[in-house]
Amino acid sequence: QSTPRWRVREMAEDLARIDAGIVFLMEVKDAAAVNVLQAELANHPVARYEVYRMDLAWLDQEVVLLTRHPPARFRRYDYKGLGVSLDRVVYADFEIDGHGLRFVAAHLKAGIQDETAARTRNYQVQE
């Protein structure tokens, strides 16, 4: 079942309201949802973003970067061999006003029941 366009339109309105230059969306349902979002943003009078996607096929979801500043690099985080089960973290490098800036989108949802994963994710973000 595809993502209802009205939900995506609501999201575009929220993006226009907060007026953020860079937004990461974690766990977007599927490629069809990203396509709907991209089409709605392209036609929106205010919330205009370039859309970059990181298809994580083994997780049945996508990580999406919405930005008004094209990134110099957008990729999965290098886990130094820790395995694909942790590949929810992606990063984007930017050059803004002559300064380098890295944004990291990390899935930090792990709770006390997932103590080892929580420590690992926190460590990876601090690297």
C-alpha separations of 62 from 21, 33, 45 in Å: 20, 9, 25
pLDDT of res. 107: 64
> 5 — alpha (psi -120 to 50), left (phi > 0) or beta?
alpha
pLDDT tens readout for residues 48-89: 888 898 876 666 678 889 998 899 998 876 555 555 555 567
- Asked if 82 contacts 120 with a C-beta cutoff of 8 angstroms, the reply is yes
Predicted confidence at residue 53, as pLDDT, reads 86
